[in-house]
Amino acid sequence: MNKNYRVITINGIRGIIAAIFIVFGLIAGFIISPGWVCMKLWNHFAQEYFATMNLLQGIMLWAIIGLSLYALNNKHALIGFGAYQGLSPDQIKDIMNRAKLSEAKIIHDLEKFKTEMNNDNVKITNIEHEQEKEEVKN
């Protein structure tokens, strides 16, 4: 067992109160305060153009900003801009050819569907015209 770890023990009601105080302090310091700052900045600068923001919306704006910064600065994130360096040119050409084939199949299926719909519409309009002719004759 690694001896560098320290075990935190909570003894009695004073320990529970201290732990709750620590949790609320962390929430206030890392979530509510930056959310309040985002709310105040938004309401100050964007009040003329957009609606005002309340504290919950400020916290959500802070979460969006924080998660975006985390995702963009994380080396293991799946977000990337530019070309992926792990593929060879032959692999990229193969992927592009498969995409073109699937796109051609989708376009072919779409055109087939359109012609079927047009044929159905022609049949329906022919039936309607025949009914109108019968009504006129009667």
Residue pLDDT tens, the chain, 138 long? 567 777 777 888 988 998 899 999 999 999 999 999 999 999 999 888 888 999 999 999 999 999 888 878 877 656 555 655 677 778 778 877 887 777 777 777 777 777 777 776 666 666 666 666 666 666
Closest-CA residue to 42 (of 28, 55, 25): 55
Report angle CA 129, 135, 136 to the nearest 5 degrees: 90
35 touches 58 (CB < 8 A): yes
